[in-house]
Amino acid sequence: MKSATEQPQRHFRLFLLTAGLCLLIAQLLGYWVNTSIPEGSSVQINSLLNFTHVRNHGGVFGMAQGQGWLFGAFSVLLLAGVCAYLWFGAVLARLEYLFFGLIVGGGVSNILDRLVYGSVIDFIDVQGIPYWHYVFNTADVMIHLGIWPMLALSLWQSRSSRGLQDLR
């Protein structure tokens, strides 16, 4: 029989493994872009995708350029809070640890970019979408791969628990 702490620790290890893999993948791709594609230039992958090396010295969608330190500091606090919540809070579903791992791994990668390069290395440049002029990176993709399913799961669980309360 498993102890009461064994299951949460196993889930926390999944979180750490996921975050670590996301961090590694995002950093390796960012390093490759930084050493292979000159800043400000593009490499066409296909008709829908370019790798365009740009630097984000600000925050989300390039807001507040030159204030990257502020976004970095806020991110450190936010990610520390998520880790504390996962370690000390109630046990969550295994998928939630996976989703949080994606979010934290991507977030830590963007923080590391700011510390190592002084800005975030963005390069994924999707073509052919009207009014879409944003360039983003692998870490941003990881964050979104964690946030959107987490939001959907949260809404689904909220509706399920409301339905059960209505039956009582």
The residues assigned a catalytic role are 122, 140
Tell me which residue of 29, 27, 8, 31 sits closest to 19, measured CA to CA. 27
Helical axes 94-117 vs 68-88, angle rounded to 10°: 150
CA distance 30 to 121: 6
The Cβ of residue 83 has, within 10 Å, a number of other Cβ atoms equal to: 16
Vertex 122 angle, CA 144 and 13, to 5°: 45
Tell me which residue of 47, 39, 68 sits closest to 56, measured CA to CA. 68
Per-residue burial over 27-37, b if 16 or more Cβ lie within 10 Å, else e, is: bebbeebbeeb
